Amino acid sequence: MIEPLTQRLIEVAYLEDSPYGDLTSELVIPKTKRAMANFIAKEPLVLAGMPYVTETFAFMTNEFDLEVFKNEGDTCSRGDVIAKVEGLATDLLRAERIALNLLQRLSGIATLTRAYIDRVKGLPVKIVDTRKTTPGMRLMEKYAVKIGGGSNHRFGLSDGILIKDNHIKAAGSITEAVRLARRSHHLLRIEVEVSEMDQVKEALDVGVDVIMLDNMDIDKMREAVHFINKRALVEASGGVNLDNVRAIAETGVDIISIGAITHSARAVDISMKVL
């Protein structure tokens, strides 16, 4: 089932792309002309987003048939036929770019996430996303992260307590920020972002549940993990890339959060070709 937020985004995409219809298709293609088209992978990729492709066609018309040949999370090779859609030619062409924009974007996120997962294979660490997502597409993009093998951090500001550097400055200290948070939400887990060892010690002293090591180098991160010694979950964040993610995982952190898997994922190349 597609969520209302996603349905609204697809509606906005149609209003953006064809507010008064598809002028070219309506002029050159007979209204009753039916067609069939294949979705084809133009490069190796991890597939994510076909449920949203289905919703893209369904939003406009009930007169279509979509047959999907690959599962979400499958690795596709160049030239693989991902799916076949049949319906009125004008409907297919009006939906084409919206469907491809979503499928290419989400498959790009899943593909990049899988690359990070492969780099830390065999190590007991979770790769998670962040809130650095495309406005309006967070639910879709976090879905793609999970399809790629990653895990989701909090969905939004309403979903958990994460005390970051600006909160600490505004509250006066880690201790005071945690005291205020715990006073109102004693049942929720509290996470604190730190960048120095004295902050690690303060966070442990006040009994936080998760300590985020922000932009620490490998040596300092290893020292922090050793000092924490399982008294809190440890998350590494900031400056993570495919070249250093395994070294970070080898420090013993429990979680690695990576904004790049959503904000910097490249859309993969997928085409829709009418047969």
Is 273 an active-site residue?
A: no
Pick the catalytic residue from 42, 84, 97, 146: 97
Is 193 an active-site residue?
A: yes
What 8-state DSSP symbol labels residue 260?
Answer: H
Pick the catalytic residue from 164, 201, 220, 222: 164
> Of the candidates 235, 273, 250, 268, which has an alpha carbon nearest to the alpha carbon of residue 36?
273
Is 164 an active-site residue?
A: yes
Pick the catalytic residue from 193, 202, 235, 254: 193
Pick the catalytic residue from 191, 214, 235, 254: 214
Is 132 an active-site residue?
A: yes
Pick the catalytic residue from 84, 132, 201, 246: 132
* Residue 24 CB partners (closer than 8 Å, separation 6+): none
Please give the structure tokens belonging to residue 196. Answer: 């120095």
Contacts 24+ apart (CB under 8 A), 227-230: 227/197, 227/200, 227/201, 228/200, 228/204
**Which residues are designated catalytic?**
97, 132, 164, 193, 214
